[in-house]
Structure 1
Amino acid sequence: MVKPAAKREVVKYLLGSYKASIERCCGVMNLHRSMWYYQSKKDDTEVIDKLNELAEQLPTRGFDEYYERIRKQGLKWNRKRVLRVYRSMKLESPENARKDFQQE
C-alpha cells in the first residue's frame, strides 16, 4: 500500500515530465485531487521544544515521566501526539540490559 505522500511525489514528477493536467496525473496514480492540494496543518514546534527541555533536565527518564510532567504543567496535548513526536525525535533509549548477578 502506497501512502498519499508517495503518490504526491509521483504526481509531481509526472507533472514536471509530461504535458498533462493535474486531473490526469492524479487519475493515473489513483490520488484524489483534494489530496493533491491538501496541506498539513501540523505544527509540533511547541511539543518538540518542551520534550527537548525535559530531555536535557532528565536524560535518564522515559516518555511516561515526560508526559506526566507535561500534563502537570497544564498543557493539554494528546498523548498520541506527544508520543509520535517523541518517537520521531528518536529520544527512545534502549532498555538497559539486565545484569546477571553472580552468586559466590
Structure 2
Amino acid sequence: MSDRKRVGDSDASKHQVTGSAPGVSAENNDGGYNAGIAVFSYIIGGIIVWSLIGWGLDYLWGTRWFVLAGALLGAVGGFYLSHMHGLTSTRKNAGDRPAASGPSKDGKH
C-alpha cells in the first residue's frame, strides 16, 4: 500500500489521512486503541469469512474439516494483514517513531 497523505486547506482541519489501516491516525493520539480494534477486526473478520467458505465447501463435498481449516486460515490471514499494515509492531526508536524495517539505506546489514 502507498502512504497517501492529505492535508486540509484550512487551518481548522489538521488531520492527516495515511494509507495504513482504517481508523488509525498518523499522530497515534489514541494510544493504540484504534490499532487494537483494527487488529481485532482483521482477525475476527478473517475467521468468520473463511469459516463460512469452509462451511460451504464442507456442505458441497460432505466433509467436516474445511470449516476448521478455514477458521485457522482466517486467523492467520487476519494477523498477516494487521502485521503488513504495521499494527502489530511495538518497536520504537529515539524519536518516538516506529523503528525502520528492512535493509538499511546504505546497503549494509
TM above 0.5, yes or no, is no
TM-score (norm 1): 0.26
TM-score (norm 2): 0.25
Higher helix content, 1 or 2:
1
